[in-house]
Structure formats: C-alpha cells, structure tokens
Amino acid sequence: MRRVLSTILTVSMVVASLAGCGGSSTATTSAAAETKSAAETAALQESPKEEKAEELTGIDAIIAEAQTMSLEELAKKAIEESNGKTFYGVGNSSRGKSALPVFIEYLKTIDPSYNMEFEWQQPKNNKIFEQLTSDSLKSEGTFAMTLIQDGNQIQSKMVETNILKKFVPKEWAEANGTTPADYKGFLPLQTLNKVFMYNCTGSAAYTNCWDFVYEGSHPLFMGVDSEIVGKNFLMMLTSDKYATWLKEAFDKLDDTKKAYFEPTIQAMQSDASDLGLGANGAYALAWIKLWVNNYNEQTDDGPICNTLVDASAKDQAGLLVYSKLRSVEESATVSVNNIKVAAYEDGYTGIGGYGYCHYLFLTKNSPLPWTACAFIAYMTCTEEGFDAWGKDMGGYSANPKVAADVEAKYSHSTGGGDEFPAKNDRGYDWWTGEGQGELVLEDPAYCAEVSFSVGSWIDVLDKYTPGA
C-alpha cells in the first residue's frame, strides 16, 4: 500500500509540474493514465496474499482428495498405505471389530498379497471422548478412525476442538443426491431407534405418549447418566418441532388426564420462558420432568427387554432399543407376543421413541488416513460392509441403496411374520414420519446449543427411587 501511495504521489507531482509549466493536455492525460496503470499494478502486487485461499495440508488435504475418489480407488490407496501394518480403531459399537476382517477380505480381492492386522477398542462408561482427546495430543495418533455416538459431546468436545475430521465418501453422497462439499452435518453409519414398549399380558393400555408419565407409571429406562444419548433425547423434546408433537398429543387426552398434567404444565411456563423455549416449551418441560421423576433406571437395554417379554411383568413399560427383540428366546413364560410396540397400535398418539446415530470420523492425526477413508467408504457404501449392523431391525443405514440391499437380504419388514408382529419393522421412513412413528431424532447442533441451559435444568430434577 505504501508503494501504491508513493507511486500516486510521484506521478501526481509530475502532472502538476507539467501543468504548471504550460504542458499540453495530451501530456497531462498521458501522465494520468500512467498514474492509473501504476496504481493498479502496485495494487495487484500487494493483493495476492490477501485474496489467495488457504491451501489444505496434512489430513485435510488427504480427505479433500479422498472425497473425489471411488471406493475402488480408495481401496488401492489403502493397500499401498497399510499392507503389513496394524490398524487401530475405537468405537461405541463392538461391531467395528466384525466389520474389519470383511474389509480386509475385500482389499484382498484387489491384491491377494495384502495383509493387515487390526485391533478394535470399545471404551466403557463413555470414556471414548477422554481416550480420543488424549490420543489427539500425539504428533501421530494410535487410532486411525472412530465410530462414535452422542452428537452433543461429538459437537462440543470432538469437532469444535478439531480432534475429529469428517470424511464423506463420494459414492455415499451421490446415493443421497448431494456432494461431499454440499453435505452438512456428520457422516452417519446408521440411525438406531429406541421405542416405547409395554407388557400386554395385563389390562394396561398405553395409547398416548403422555401415558408413560401418567400417575403410577414407572417405565424401565437406561437413564440419562448411564447412557448420554438418553439425555440428548430429552433435550431434543424442547425443540419447537417435538414440543409441538407433545402439545398435539396432550390435546387428544381425555379430560381426566389433562387435569392431572395441567398443573405441571402451568408450573413449567416460567422455566420455559427463562430457557428461551418456544410457544409449546412448557409441554416439553412438563413431560421431561415427569419422565425423570418416574422412570425406573436400569443398567442396560438387554435386561429391560428380558423383563418386559416375561409374562410376570404384567403392565410394565419401557423405552429401549428395538433390535433387542431379535434376541428373545421363546418359552412357556417368555415371548415377544407378551409385549406391544406402542407406536404400532391403532389409535396411538404422540412420539414413539427416539433415534440417534453412530457417526464415522477420521482422527486429526490418523496414522493410516487412506485406509480409514477406505474402511469408512466400505461400511457406508456396501451391504457387505454394513452387514455387521444390518442384521438388526431398528438399525437403518444412512445410504438408501445399502438400506434397500439390507432389506432385500434380511426382510426386516416381515421378519416376525404373522406369529410375532411386533418384530415386523416398519422402516426408517415410517418411524420418522410425522403422524406415524414420530421418532425424535437427535440433532447434534441443537443438543450442543441447549446443553448448558436445558441440560443443566434436567440435571437437577429429582429421580425416582423404587421402594422409597
């Protein structure tokens, strides 16, 4: 800029001198033109550093290139990078360990001499975030990639801190009608659903989502402390969309039940205002408060399922992973037919459960980034790669082509047949449809946004203690 000003000043002085000495107008015009030309040239010399886009380096450059490549092209890069090495992965799902050997066999179809060892870790008690944070401090990390859940903590602890890197396979984006550059959000391997179920051997009827928080109801639930995605579900209820669903379900209750809930709803109005919630926020807070005050906390969804399908659990209800029904062993007292999936019943009103994702990321210091990209593409773009999860109903691939291939292979929609109708999965589109399954879907950005406000409010609610 100094050179620009200097040039302008110098030429201006020349022009002034010429004019003062009786110079011709042609000379003046020529000098002015030279002034403009010199100024433009100097400005162009000064500006490139400001206008030039920052070039990608390291893992970011690899991801950018990988997002332009097919699965086969990525596979060839993976073979070149990791042949004879060991691949370390970490995840909330142990099935990554099942998917890796299938991936290795796929690479061997391209190069029969290829060989790679692997280890897969599944930290307990949500320690995966601490483990990834610690590993991120190394110049070269141990873990190549991760399969991780809990959108709230992923957003705040992993993405905003640049510990994890998003990679979107080109073929996955194409199957979803977009491009890697245009796709927003994290890359999901699958959406899992947890749904309301109840034991139907007695006389209890759950025809509205508010019935699960009605007087005397103590649904079985893993709890917001033992599995954080459960807390994300509760926080999501305060978003305008789901709060409206709760209000609409409330409006369909009979007068007796409305009278029971109304005092709590009114008491939540001021809290809803303080938390900056929308018009129906008080309905969401009332439902959340009554749920936390009354659910019977359990250690895992497996025991919840085992309890509910037993004839002795008359009238009990729960919110649990739908796929657990696949493992029920029929006996004289235990049967899938001892339960009903609430949302499947005619006349049921309101939310049917909630859905959350397993997301895939590279680590920022991945020791095998090309192999990680190829593995992620294989899991998300092929039925064989997704198969470790595909055998379960209630687990939906985020790739529509893979989802169709999974259904063709496993026939989840008719898996229970006429004998066990509760096992006939109605599919992702039904579960997420308004007025159908009304599944509450986790939104990482919203959860992170209200984690301090709504999340802190949830933390201080009183919890139910059986027998107290």
For the chain, residues with pLDDT lower than 50 are 1-53
The pTM score is: 0.86
| Cβ partners under 8 Å of residue 241, min gap 6 | none
Answer whether 333's CB lies under 8 Å from 310's CB: yes
Within 22-146, where are the H helices? 25-46, 48-51, 58-66, 71-82, 96-110, 128-135
Please work out, in degrees rounded to the nearest 5, the angle formed at the alpha carbon of residue 182 by the alpha carbons of 181 and 185.
95
Same domain, 68 and 184: yes
CATH of the domain at 165: 3.40.190.10
Give residue 54's pLDDT: 61
pLDDT at residue 298 in the model? 94
**Per residue in 200-240, pLDDT tens?**
999 988 999 999 999 999 999 998 877 889 999 999 999 99
390 and 317 both lie in a single domain: no
Q: What is the pLDDT of residue 11?
A: 35
Residue 81, φ and ψ in degrees, nearest 5: -80, -40
* Same domain as 417, residue 383: no
How does DSSP classify residue 349?
A: B
Predicted local distance difference test score (pLDDT) of residue 24: 37
Residue 217 sits in the same domain as residue 326: yes
319 — phi, psi (to 5°)? Answer: -125, 110
Domain range for 173 is 58-189+358-405
Together in a domain, 294 and 423: yes
Whether 465 is covered by a domain: the verdict is no
Same domain, 350 and 368: no
Buried b / exposed e along 260-292 (16+ C-beta atoms within 10 A): ebeebbeebeebbeebebeebbbbbbbbbbbbb
